[in-house]
Chains A and B, each alone.
Chain A
Amino acid sequence: MSSVTAEKGNGQVSVKKKSQLADVWKRLCRNKTALLGLVIVILLVLIGILSPIIFDYETQVIKTDYSSTLQPPSAAHPFGTDELGRDILIRTLYATSTSLSIGVVTVVVALAVGLVLGSAAGYFGGKVDMIIMRIMDIFLAIPGTLLAICIVASLGNSITNLVIAQAVSAIPKFARVVRGAVMTVRDSEYVEAARAIGAKDTTIIFHDVLPNSLAPIIVQTTLEVATVILSIAGLSFIGLGIPAPRPEWGAMLSASRSYIRDYSYMCMFPGLAIMITILSLNLLGDGLRDALDPRLR
C-alpha cells in the first residue's frame, strides 16, 4: 500500500516513502468544505464524549423542575427550558452522545455483517452471490425507514432494538457496496498470485481483496452514520425511538410540538443540532469520496 517515489531536493536524490493515506489526507485538506465537515464532526465527537462527564445525568439532564418550566432563553438557560423545566442546552448537548454512539455502534454492526455477506457474494460469485443478493434485494424492497419502524414496532423501543432495527436496514446497503468493490478487484493479478501460492479464501478476502476495496466502504460508512442518526431522530419523533427521559433530538422536537404557538424556541435547537450533525457528516463523506478516489472528480 505504499509507493516509492524519487524526489530531488537540494540537488540530492532522496528516496521518500509516501503512503497512500498521506496522499488522501493531502487531497482532503485541499477541500475546504470537507475539512469544515471534519472539524465539526471532531467537535461533535468531543461534545459527545465530554457532556456525559460534565453534566450529571440524574440531576441536570432528566430531573424535572416545576419551578422553571417553559422559560425562554436567558443567561441561566441559554436555550431556555422545556415543559418539565429541564435545560434545553444541556439536553441538546447530552443528546449528541446518545445519537453519535448509537449511530456509530449501528454502523459498525451493519458494516461487520455487510462485509462478510458482501465479500462472500462478490468473491465467490455464482450461487453464493445469487442467494445472498436475492435476500438482500428483499430487504431493499422495503424502504429503510419502514423496515426500521416495522422492527421497532414489533420488538418494542429500547436502545438495543433500535440498533437492531437500524442495522438490519443498513446491512443490505453495505453488502451491496462491499460486493461491488470486491468484484472489481477479485480478478486482478495480485489476487490471482495469492491464489497461486495457495492462500486460503478468507486470507485472500481479508488480506488482499478488502484493503484494496476500502474507498467506497469508508465513504458509505460515513454517510450511513448520518442516515442512521437522522432515522433515529425520525423514529424518536414518532415515539418509536429512544425511550424517555433520555434526551434525543427527535424526541425533543416531538415534545416541542404542543408548545410551538407560544414557546417556539423549543423547536429550534434540537433541530439545528440534527442539521449540523448530518450536514457535517455529509460534507465529510463527500470530501472523502473525492479524496479517496481522484478519478471520480
Chain B
Amino acid sequence: MIKFIIKRLVALIPVLLGVTLLVFFILDLAPGDPAKTILGEQARPEDIAALREEMGLNDPFIVRYGRYMFDLVQGDLGTSYKTRDPVGEEVWARLPNTITLALTSTVVAIVLALPLGIIAAIKQNTLFDGISMFISLLGISMPVFWMGLLLILFFSVKLGWFPVAGADQGIRSLVLPSVALGFMHMAAIARTTRSSMLETIRQDYIRTVRAKGLPERDIITDHALRNALIPTTTVIGLQIGQMLGGSVLTESVFAWPGIGRYMIQSIQGRDIPSVMGCIIVFAIGFALINLLVDLIYGFIDPRIKAQYK
C-alpha cells in the first residue's frame, strides 16, 4: 500500500512539471510589460528597464521557468505585481475557505445524490425514478451561477434567511454556496449511483441472498450498496475536480473569499504571478484528490487493493 502511494506520488512529478510548464507558457503569452504594470504608465523608461533587469524578465523563457520552479519547490509562489506580497501567503490565507466550500458542497452533493440514485434504481421505471432523474438532469443543465442567483433571490432577498454574500456569518454564509455547488454535482453522482445500483441488484449473488430470505433493506444496504458504490466513488472524485472549476464561479457569485475569487480579481488586475499561483494550487489539489480517490477504491474493493501490492 505504502509502496503504491509512493509510486503514485512519484508518477505525479512529471505531470505537475508538465502542468506548470503549460500554465507558465500560456501566461507568458500575456501582452503587456509586468514592470510597467508595477510602476505605472507614467514611469520613466530607465526605471522600467532597471526593474525588468531586477525581476529577470529579460532572461530567456526556460531560465525564467527554471527559476519559478526552483522557487516553487521551496514553497514560494512568487510575488504579486499589485500588492508586492508573496502570492503564497495570499493563497494560503484563502485556501481554508475554498477547501471548506468544496467539502461542504461535496457533502451536500452526496447526501442528495445517494438516496436519489439508490431509490431510483430500486423503484426503476416508477414515478419516483422519473422525478429523481429529472432533478438530476436539472442539476446538470443549470449553470451553477444561475442556481446561485436564484438561491440568493429566494432565500436571501425574499426570505432573508441567509446572507446575500461574504463569509462573515459562519455556517449561515456557507449554506447557499454549498447548495448551489453541491446541486450541480449531485446530478452526475445520482445518475451513476442509479445505473451501477441497477447493474448490481441484477447480479447472481444478490439473487442468492434474496433467495436466502434476507429482508430487502439488508440486501440493499449490506450487499448491493458496497459494490454499487465503486463507480460512484470514481464519479465523486471526478466531480471534485470539476468542483474546483465550479468553485471559481460560485465564489464569484457569493463573494466567497476563496482562491477562485482571488484568481478572478488577480486576472482583472492583470496580476500574472497571482493567477499562476492559484492555477498551480488548483492543479496540485486536483492531482492529489485523484490520488486519494484511487486509494479509497482499495478500501471499498478488495479486488483493487490486491493490485496495489
Q: Are B150 and A149 in contact (CB under 8 A)?
A: no
Chain A residues, Cβ within 8 Å of B286: 141-143
Residues of B within 8 A of A264 (CB): 153, 157
Interface members, chain B 265-289 (any A CB < 8 Å): 267-268, 272, 275, 279, 282-283, 286-287
Give A55-76 interface residues, CB cut-off 8 Å to B.
Answer: none
Is the CB–CB distance between A237 and B249 below 8 Å?
yes
Task: Kindly supply a per-residue 1/0 record for chain A positions 250-272, scoring 1 wherever the CB is within 8 Å of any chain B CB and 0 otherwise.
Answer: 10011011001100100100110
Secondary structure at the B interface, as helix, strand, loop or mixed, is: helix
User: How far does the Cβ of A113 sit from chain B's closest Cβ, in whole Å?
Assistant: 16
Q: Choose one: A135, A149, A230, A276; the contact of B263 (CB below 8 Å).
A: A149
**How many chain B residues touch the partner (CB < 8 A)?**
47
Given known pairs A145-B248, A149-B248, A150-B27, the reply for A271 and B22 (CB within 8 Å) is no
- In the assembly, what is the distance between CA of A233 and CA of B142, in Å? 11
Knowing A264-B157, A267-B146 are in contact, say whether A137-B15 is a contact too (CB < 8 A). Answer: yes
Write out the residue numbers on chain A whose beta carbons fall within 8 Å of the beta carbon of B144: 234
Q: How far is the CB of A174 from chain B (nearest CB, A)?
A: 17
Q: Which residues of A contact B268 (CB under 8 A)?
A: 239
Answer whether residue A228 sits at the interface, using C-beta atoms and an 8 A cutoff: no
User: Nearest Cβ distance between residue B124 and chain A, in whole angstroms?
Assistant: 13
Contact across chains for B31 and A234 when beta carbons are under 8 A apart: no
List the A residue with the shortest CB-CB distance to B275: A153
Once A138-B22, A143-B286, A267-B150 are accepted as A-B contacts, the answer to whether A149 and B15 lie under 8 Å apart by CB is no
Answer whether residue B190 sits at the interface, using C-beta atoms and an 8 A cutoff: no
**Quick check: A141 and B30 within 8 Å, CB to CB?**
no
Asked if A156 lies at the interface with its beta carbon under 8 angstroms from chain B, I say: yes
CA distance A153 to B282 in the complex (A): 16
Contact present for A155 and B149 (CB under 8 Å): no
**Could you say which of B15, B16, B23, B137 contacts A282, with CB atoms under 8 Å apart?**
B137
Q: How far is the CB of B207 from chain A (nearest CB, A)?
A: 21
5 contacts between A and B (CB under 8 A): A134-B18, A137-B15, A149-B279, A156-B31, A257-B149
A interface with B by C-beta (< 8 Å): 134-135, 137-139, 141-146, 149-151, 153-156, 230, 233-234, 237-240, 250, 253-254, 256-257, 260-261, 264, 267, 270-271, 274-276, 278-279, 282-283
